[in-house]
Chain A
Amino acid sequence: MFERFTKEARQVVTTAVAEARARGDSRIGNEHLLVALAGTQLPFDRSLLGPLDVGAEGMRDQLDRMDSDSLAAVGFDPDLLHPSLRAAGGDDRSRARRHLAFTHGAKGVLERSLREAVRRGDRHIGAEHMLLSLLAVPPEDPAARVFAQLEADLVTIRADVEAALARRVA
């Protein structure tokens, strides 16, 4: 399904795979696509992303925060962990060989980015379509959790991005 993806969109996918691997996660999810998108060039001013404009490193911090909060939610104090274990990651050579699959949610986002492109009448699927698709994830998705953490107003961001893309075509 990637043949219509632009160079940037393909880069987002490969970066997300590397991100999942680096974090030691067993699947590629929308939270990894979010980190990858945060470090990718978009065809509009990134400031339109408002609170989501935190860069790749800022997004990684958000994933670490989500992980810590989840431990706290089940009664485990993340501060008890040795600092070197608090953030995801580590060095595992066996991990590099492992094949990682996309989560169902991430597959949904990739498929919906195609529909976003079709809806907009664009011939290619770019990072901007993946972003629009990500903004519509269901509330239980990890990406939705990150949006909530950053207190992002998704309706406004979507409207601003759509307007910027429409201006670009005009």
Chain B
Amino acid sequence: MDLNETLVAAEGEDPAMGLRAVVVLRRLADRLEEIHVASARRQGWTWQQIGDALGVSRQAVHKKSGR
């Protein structure tokens, strides 16, 4: 079974768990973003470069993690 089939198979399961997984993955993505934006800043990346890498505007990333 490939990944897509696995994901589709999961559709029929408990929606509460599927929706929870979405929340958990979002939270995980937020944490990874915090960690790696901070790491990029320490290594001298500009907000522009980080924004481009994340596919968002410079302002968006600065607003979210800037200090």
Q: Tell me which residues across on chain A come within 8 A of B32, comparing CB atoms.
A: 85
* Contact assessment for B64 and A94 in the assembled complex, using a CB-CB cutoff below 8 Å: yes
Task: Report Cα–Cα, A70/B24, bound state, in Å.
Answer: 8
Classify chain A's interface size.
20 to 34
Residue tally, chain B, CB below 8 Å to A: 26
Chain A contacts with B in 64-86, Cβ cutoff 8 A? 66-67, 69-71, 73-76, 81, 85
Q: Tell me which residues across on chain A come within 8 A of B6, comparing CB atoms.
A: 75
* Contact assessment for B67 and A93 in the assembled complex, using a CB-CB cutoff below 8 Å: yes
Task: Report Cα–Cα, A142/B27, bound state, in Å.
Answer: 16
* Contact assessment for A92 and B10 in the assembled complex, using a CB-CB cutoff below 8 Å: no
* Contact assessment for B18 and A74 in the assembled complex, using a CB-CB cutoff below 8 Å: yes
**Shortest distance between the CB of A35 and any CB in chain B (Å):** 16
* Contact assessment for B21 and A71 in the assembled complex, using a CB-CB cutoff below 8 Å: yes
**Shortest distance between the CB of A168 and any CB in chain B (Å):** 36
CB within 8 Å for A75 and B10 given contacts A85-B31, A90-B31 = yes
Which of A23, A25, A73, A92 is within 8 Å of B14, CB to CB?
A73
Q: Tell me which residues across on chain B come within 8 A of A90, comparing CB atoms.
A: 31, 34-35
* Contact assessment for B17 and A73 in the assembled complex, using a CB-CB cutoff below 8 Å: yes
Is A24 engaged at the interface, CB distance under 8 Å to the other chain? yes
30 contacts between A and B (CB under 8 A): A24-B30, A26-B23, A66-B20, A69-B17, A70-B18, A70-B21, A70-B24, A73-B10, A73-B14, A73-B18, A73-B21, A74-B7, A74-B10, A74-B17, A74-B18, A75-B3, A75-B6, A75-B9, A75-B10, A76-B21, A81-B28, A88-B24, A90-B35, A91-B34, A92-B34, A93-B67, A94-B64, A94-B67, A142-B16, A142-B20
Chain A residues near B (Cβ < 8 Å): 23-26, 66-67, 69-71, 73-76, 81, 85, 88, 90-94, 140, 142, 145
